[in-house]
Chain A
Amino acid sequence: MSDHKTEKHELKGYYTGDIHNQFVEEHETPNAKKVIWRTFWILLAITIFEVAISFTSINKDVLQWTFVALTIVKAGYIVMFFMHLLHEKFTFKYTILGPFALIAFLIAIALAEGMYIRIHP
């Protein structure tokens, strides 16, 4: 490693203080509180909207797909803004999100199986 070129950087952050004592960079997030409360109102509005439309007589399939879509939107807001995944590095973000492609695949095959064994019990 010693042949790496090194340069001096002024970084804001902290040392973890454990045996690894890693340095973790900290970034100022402007309007942090504003973003938190905005996320809260969005989540609340979506939840109220979901409960409200569950009492209407809209087509059942349309309703179910709306619920699934809104759930993914809600999950996105929680993961991106509450868990701050949006502000993590690109590589880390997709290390976390990538494996869920497997779950999408599992959903597709398992639900198809469920519908198949209903017709052919």
Chain B
Amino acid sequence: MSTTAAIKKPSATWGGGISPFNVSWGKMFMWFFLVSDAFTFSSLLVAYGTLRHRFTEIWPAPGDVFTHFPFIHGHVPLAYVGFMTFDLIMSSVTMVLAVEAGHRRSNKGVIVWLALTVVGGFIFVGSQAWEWYHFIKGSENGAYVLEDGRFARTDALEPGMIFIWQDHNKTIYEGAEAQKLISTATKNIHGATLVENEYGSTPLFANFFFFITGFHGFHVFSGVVINIIILINVINGVYIRRGHYEQVEKAGLYWHFVDLVWVFVFTFFYLV
């Protein structure tokens, strides 16, 4: 349905009558919106980085926090979040294939790939809910707050063993030594709230986790809703009548942006 048009092309690019950027206004404003949204996420991540540098000696190591994997009992650090990253990259691929099918004006192709993108989005949102559940619930024995304010954690260790994470060094205590530390502890914390968390002695770690992954998760959720609306339009043949699939392209830009933000969240929350 692609049209070949004989149009008058003005010789001056900025003289009016054509788009100097050769993008429609809709697509251009999607890009401008994404730039502004990227600034919001950048500000959040920069704030996170600043305060992480402030509290670098007590900031928890991600490998000691995100240790759960569905149906596996034990310590599997970073595996599930690795899967989530794979899922989001995969759904980006299906989205870009939907856009490509749109360029070929293949309605059927767009339906298949867009539907798969929606499925990938739901898997990601579900995974994030699962991740939050375990983050909030915490480990079985939680962390003990020692008299000097340091946190002695028990996660992923044999019963009776504890470890202290300080200045990027992990010290493990066991037996009588561990018992002595536990008996003098002033408090036992389980899981995470906005006030305190068992992962480290600064509440900022959990606060940033909730705020930034929550903000990103909400973007994923909106992306899924947008993709479903576009999918319904495609199924109803709206874009066959319109003659082009630019709407799929715009939704695609938003979806890739969500993937793009996750690449940064993944690095700064789970790897570094």
**How many angstroms between the C-alpha atoms of A89 and B22 in the bound complex?**
7
Is B179 an interface position by the 8 A CB rule? no
Is A30 an interface position by the 8 A CB rule? no
Q: Knowing A40-B89, A82-B256, A110-B47 are in contact, say whether A25-B100 is a contact too (CB < 8 A).
A: no
Q: Are B2 and A54 closer than 8 Å at their CB atoms? A: no
Q: Which residues of A from 58 to 75 have beta carbons under 8 Å from B?
A: 60, 64, 67-68, 70-71, 74-75
Q: Knowing A25-B22, A75-B263 are in contact, say whether A103-B42 is a contact too (CB < 8 A).
A: yes
Q: CB < 8 Å: which of A25, A33, A106 contacts B46? A: A106
Q: Are B15 and A17 closer than 8 Å at their CB atoms? A: no
Judged by DSSP, the binding face of A is helix
| Residue with the highest number of chain B CB atoms closer than 10 Å, among A4, A37, A71, A83 | A83
Q: With contacts A14-B246, A44-B86, A113-B50 known, what are 20 further pairs, Cβ within 8 A?
A: A1-B10, A4-B11, A6-B9, A6-B11, A9-B6, A12-B2, A13-B2, A17-B242, A20-B24, A24-B22, A24-B244, A29-B103, A32-B103, A51-B79, A54-B78, A67-B272, A78-B263, A92-B23, A106-B42, A107-B46
Q: CB < 8 Å: which of A16, A88, A103 contacts B39? A: A103
**Interchain nearest-CB distance for A28 vs B (Å):** 9
**How many angstroms between the C-alpha atoms of A106 and B77 in the bound complex?**
32
Categorize the interface residue count of chain A.
35 or more
What are 6 inter-chain pairs, A to B, with CB distance below 8 A? A4-B11, A11-B9, A17-B243, A33-B100, A83-B256, A106-B42
**How many angstroms between the C-alpha atoms of A103 and B7 in the bound complex?**
41
Contacts of B11 in A (CB 8 A): 4-7
Q: Are A60 and B6 closer than 8 Å at their CB atoms? A: no
Q: Are B93 and A11 closer than 8 Å at their CB atoms? A: no
**How many angstroms between the C-alpha atoms of A15 and B25 in the bound complex?**
12
Q: Which residues of A from 1 to 56 have beta carbons under 8 Å from B?
A: 1, 4-18, 20, 22-26, 29, 32-33, 36-37, 39-40, 43-44, 47-48, 50-51, 54-55
Is B260 an interface position by the 8 A CB rule? yes
| Residue positions of B touching A, CB distance < 8 A | 2-12, 15-26, 28, 31, 35, 38-39, 42-43, 46-47, 49-56, 63, 77-79, 82, 85-86, 89-90, 92-93, 95-97, 100, 103, 168, 242-244, 246, 252-253, 256-257, 259-260, 263-264, 266-267, 271-272
What residue of chain A has the Cβ atom nearest to residue B92's Cβ?
Answer: A82
Q: Are B103 and A43 closer than 8 Å at their CB atoms? A: no
Q: Are A64 and B272 closer than 8 Å at their CB atoms? A: yes
**How many angstroms between the C-alpha atoms of A71 and B45 in the bound complex?**
14
